[in-house]
Structure 1
Amino acid sequence: MTVFDLPARLDATNAPAIEQQLLRLIQTDKPALLVCNFAATDYISSAGLRILLLAAKTLRQQGAELQLRQMQPAVADVFRLAGLHGVLNIQN
């Protein structure tokens, strides 16, 4: 299991850098399970959602899994409103 700690805000400002870090981690470490830790994250935009969907797709292609953990209620609401609770593995 590999844990990736997300920043307080995940939006268009920092999404490209986070995407690069996540994809590099996936390609280099090839984790069977990648856990994105949302403990410090209090805001996510559609740009943030997009990179998590990309990471999940990339991991699935490698036979691996993405889990999202320790989501704050406001962030979890964004995932629910976007209809992603059934698409992504969210563990709280």
Structure 2
Amino acid sequence: MSFWKKTGSLALKTAKVGYATANVLANQVEAQSNEINQLHKDYKNRSNKELLEIIESTGFFAKSYQEKGAARSILRQRKRSQSEHNYS
């Protein structure tokens, strides 16, 4: 096999592996996005106290980073909404 055929074959194999890796990563990102969106929906109706408990949880039974992030996001949205109402 000539040098250029080997080079082309290697480039093709590399491209196939890169494509497969990109698909796997895209699927993982989509799954995480869906999980975070579901957490937002679930946490939206919780009280501020419950959300703070989620954020402050520690130890073995602590909530995940995604759960804590969703709770923080909702509290920030509520704070912004409340400050907008105060200025109106």
| TM-score, normalised via structure 2 length | 0.34
The structure with more strand, counted as a fraction of residues:
1
The structure with more helix, counted as a fraction of residues:
2
Q: Larger relative CO (CA 8 A, sep 6+): 1 or 2?
A: 1
| TM-score, normalised via structure 1 length | 0.33
